[in-house]
């Protein structure tokens, strides 16, 4: 019953019966971000303010935009002091390039400073002297705490029709103060996700997310989404393991941990403006709605079971930011944690997320990834260079969906990708 084609047929039949007509009813173009949708599919697609901001909200968005771009420097300084002493990068916008992803580039030394490595001991606690995040940069005169050498290892495979493919997985060599990282330290390489549309995700009522969870797979469909509960039992929504409850907390943590700018070094109003910026970036409109391949790909997305986790439609409830409240939108995520199998596992639990679980990422705008930034990549650590590779890494709860894709015909694979590119 999930097939969009079947749904279209049912709708068309119902219309034909009620109106006595044969023509399919006109379909309103799905507005990816509800009233926050922007009709821009260029390199700027992720960087547009939501068009439904009022004048005051627009001014605040612009202030937040400036804060997101602001490059911090070591104190003492007149403008934006407080960087470091250790850090990963100097500005939000230097990791979330064009409000999108970072660029996962192999090599020794700083991770081109877009990616970061989370660490912890087996009991989930801090790594002594290092904490829970490796800072691989430092201000002048200070040694960074870690050097991360990122490499990629080829992983060959074949489609059901015999066509070969080659995936790549990361391989990290980490040294702390010149010595190899102790083997019992858990590590998790993370790339920055895009930051548009996030106010809508923040405004989905908690009840709706919890209601979609099926921790014991009671309905027996092989999919068992779980919620993450973070500090104080709050529902986690952001980060690759849903380890952060709100965008203000995410911004505050980024200032402190990614840039070394602590709470007593920055005006809380600026942290809030930065978060407001990520709450109010518009969502790019879909394209290709009339394209036959895209339509077939959308049907395959449903029949392969992709939509069991990448939930097409969500609705927001109340939210202090009026522009994102009470919208119907199409993020393609359930915001739940899923076991994606051993190959993607980081083995590092994060609150209630275990070492194999990841939060379903939204797929809106994903077709623009390489338009916004050629060379950027997919999945939590940027290992997937293409959408095909991203799908082929799915395992665990998503193994059946991956196999449906891997064993489908070249034409069906192309149609599914055409659909993803239309988002």
Which positions lie near ligand HEC, rule CB under 6 A? 68, 88-89, 92, 95-96, 114, 116, 118, 190-193, 195, 198, 223, 238-240, 243, 247, 250-251, 254-255, 258-259, 274, 278, 301, 304-306, 308-310, 338, 340, 344, 358, 360-361, 363, 366, 378-380, 387, 390-391, 394, 397-398, 401, 405, 416, 420
Which of 331, 303, 296 has the alpha carbon at shortest distance from 414?
296
Q: Which is nearer to ligand HEC, 12 or 75 (CB)?
A: 75
**Least distance CB 3 / Ca ion (angstroms):** 18
Contact indicator for 153, 381 with CB cutoff of 8 Å: no
**Least distance CB 416 / Ca ion (angstroms):** 22
| Residue 214 touches which of ligand HEC, Ca ion, none (Cβ within 5-8 Å per kind) | Ca ion
Q: Which is nearer to Ca ion, 82 or 239 (CB)?
A: 82
**Least distance CB 138 / Ca ion (angstroms):** 11
Peptide bond before residue 85 is cis, with ω within 30 degrees of 0:
yes
Tell me how many degrees the CA angle 422-39-250 measures, rounded to the nearest 5. 85
Which residues are paired to 281 by β-bridges?
Answer: 49
**Least distance CB 100 / Ca ion (angstroms):** 25
Radius of gyration of the chain from its Cα atoms, rounded to whole angstroms: 22
| Residue 338 touches which of ligand HEC, Ca ion, none (Cβ within 5-8 Å per kind) | ligand HEC
- The single residue listed with the structure tokens 């999919």 is 223
Q: Which is nearer to ligand HEC, 35 or 399 (CB)?
A: 399
DSSP letters spanning 234-284: PEE-BTTTT-BS-HHHHHHHIIIIIS---GGGS-HHHHHHHHHHHHSBPEE
Give the Å distances, CA to CA, from 264 to 87, 145, 206, 272. 16, 22, 31, 14
| Residue 217 touches which of Ca ion, ligand HEC, none (Cβ within 5-8 Å per kind) | Ca ion
**Least distance CB 181 / Ca ion (angstroms):** 12
Q: Which is nearer to ligand HEC, 46 or 238 (CB)?
A: 238
| E-strand stretches of 311-385 | 314-315, 328-329, 337-339, 357-359
Q: Which is nearer to ligand HEC, 301 or 351 (CB)?
A: 301
- The single residue listed with the structure tokens 């104080």 is 232
**Least distance CB 108 / ligand HEC (angstroms):** 17
| Residue 361 touches which of ligand HEC, Ca ion, none (Cβ within 5-8 Å per kind) | ligand HEC
**Least distance CB 171 / ligand HEC (angstroms):** 16
For binding to Ca ion (CB under 5 A), which residues are involved? 82, 130-131, 133, 135, 214, 217, 219, 221, 223, 260
**Mapping DSSP to helix (H, G, I), strand (E, B) and coil, where does residue 57 land?**
helix
Tell me the C-alpha distance between 117 and 119, whole Å: 6
CA-based end-to-end distance of the chain: 23
Q: Is 370 left (phi over 0), alpha (psi -120 to 50) or beta?
A: alpha
| Residue 82 touches which of ligand HEC, Ca ion, none (Cβ within 5-8 Å per kind) | Ca ion
| Residue 221 touches which of Ca ion, ligand HEC, none (Cβ within 5-8 Å per kind) | Ca ion
**Least distance CB 72 / Ca ion (angstroms):** 8
Q: Which is nearer to ligand HEC, 57 or 378 (CB)?
A: 378
Which of 196, 200, 250, 247 has the alpha carbon at shortest distance from 44?
196
Q: Which is nearer to ligand HEC, 52 or 278 (CB)?
A: 278
Take residue 338 and report the two structure tokens written for it.
Answer: 């899923």
**Mapping DSSP to helix (H, G, I), strand (E, B) and coil, where does residue 187 land?**
strand
Q: Which is nearer to Ca ion, 333 or 422 (CB)?
A: 333
Within 10 angstroms of residue 391's Cβ, the number of other Cβ atoms is 22
């Amino acid at each position: 019953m999930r097939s969009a084609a079947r749904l279209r047929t049912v709708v068309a039949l119902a219309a034909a019966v009620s109106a006595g007509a044969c023509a399919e009813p006109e379909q309103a173009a799905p507005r990816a971000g509800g009233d926050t949708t922007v009709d821009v599919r260029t390199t700027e697609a992720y960087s547009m303010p939501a068009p439904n901001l009022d004048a005051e909200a627009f001014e605040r968005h612009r202030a937040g935009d400036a804060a997101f771009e602001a490059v911090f420097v070591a104190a003492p300084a007149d403008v934006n002091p407080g960087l470091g002493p250790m850090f990963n990068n100097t500005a939000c916008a230097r990791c979330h390039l064009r409000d999108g992803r970072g660029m996962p580039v192999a090599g020794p030394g700083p991770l081109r400073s877009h990616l970061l490595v989370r660490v912890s001991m087996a009991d989930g606690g801090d790594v002594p002297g290092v904490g829970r995040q490796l800072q691989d940069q430092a201000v002048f005169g200070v040694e960074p705490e870690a050097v991360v050498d990122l490499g990629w290892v080829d992983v060959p495979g074949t489609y059901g029709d015999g066509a070969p493919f080659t995936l790549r997985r990361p391989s990290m060599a980490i040294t702390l103060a010149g010595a190899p990282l102790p083997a019992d330290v858990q590590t998790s390489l993370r790339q920055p996700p895009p930051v548009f549309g996030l106010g809508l995700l923040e405004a989905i009522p908690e009840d709706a997310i919890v209601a979609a969870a099926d921790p014991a797979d009671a309905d027996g469909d092989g999919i068992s989404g779980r919620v993450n509960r973070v500090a104080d039992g709050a529902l986690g929504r952001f980060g690759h393991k849903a380890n952060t409850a709100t965008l203000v907390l995410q911004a505050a943590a980024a200032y402190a941990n990614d840039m070394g700018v602590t709470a007593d070094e920055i005006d809380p109003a600026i942290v809030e403006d930065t978060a407001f910026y990520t709450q109010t970036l518009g969502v790019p409109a879909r394209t290709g709605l009339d394209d036959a391949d895209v339509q077939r790909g959308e049907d395959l997305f449903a029949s392969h079971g992709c939509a069991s986790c990448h939930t097409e439609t969500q609705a927001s409830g109340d939210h202090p930011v009026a522009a994102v409240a009470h919208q119907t939108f199409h993020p393609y995520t359930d915001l739940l944690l899923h076991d994606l199998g051993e190959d993607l596992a980081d083995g590092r639990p994060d609150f209630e997320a275990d070492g194999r679980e990841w939060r379903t990422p939204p797929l809106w705008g994903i077709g623009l990834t390489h338009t916004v930034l050629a060379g950027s990549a997919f999945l939590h650590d940027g290992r997937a260079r293409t959408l095909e590779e991203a799908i082929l890494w799915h395992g665990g709860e998503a193994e059946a969906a991956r196999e449906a894709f891997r064993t489908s015909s070249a034409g069906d694979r192309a149609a599914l990708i055409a659909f993803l590119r239309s988002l």
